[in-house]
């Protein structure tokens, strides 16, 4: 019930703290700016044993890895998205042909 909205940003620190604190699900890919990590730490749920910054460091730099915080189930997970299986027009260019 109520209003649902999805925010997608590359700068979590730029969002108002109320927006972050009222989010039931946060999906976070790799962050490198300390301000953004600090903004997520500020809304860390009490059920999380370790800090969000620690979880982000465990993710590493591999593509397709994300950290998810779910308030409904009171859980946090590091997940890996499967690679795209369909052709994508925005594919990364390559100087070599694939055989």
**Three-state SS at 69:** strand
Task: Identify the pLDDT of residue 97.
Answer: 66
Least confident stretch, 63-67, 74-78, 95-99: 95-99
The secondary structure of residue 83, as a DSSP letter, is P
Query: Cβ–Cβ contacts within 10 Å for residue 33, how many?
Result: 12
Is the CB of residue 43 less than 8 Å from the CB of residue 16? no
Distance CA 89, CA 99 (A): 19
On the question of pLDDT at 89 being above 80, the answer is: no
On the question of pLDDT at 92 being above 80, the answer is: no
Task: Identify the pLDDT of residue 35.
Answer: 93
Q: pTM for this structure?
A: 0.72
Nearest alpha carbon to residue 66 among 39, 35, 26: 26
**Three-state SS at 68:** strand
Average pLDDT score over residue span 31-58: 86
């Amino acid at each position: 019930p109520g209003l649902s909205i999805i925010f997608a940003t590359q700068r979590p620190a730029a969002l108002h703290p109320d927006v972050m604190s009222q989010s039931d699900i946060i999906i976070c890919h790799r962050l490198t700016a300390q301000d953004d990590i600090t903004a997520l730490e500020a809304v860390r749920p009490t059920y999380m044993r370790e800090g969000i910054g620690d979880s982000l460091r465990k993710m590493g730099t591999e593509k397709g890895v994300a950290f998810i915080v779910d308030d409904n189930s009171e859980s946090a997970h590091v997940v890996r998205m499967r690679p795209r299986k369909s052709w994508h027009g925005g594919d990364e260019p390559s100087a070599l042909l694939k055989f």
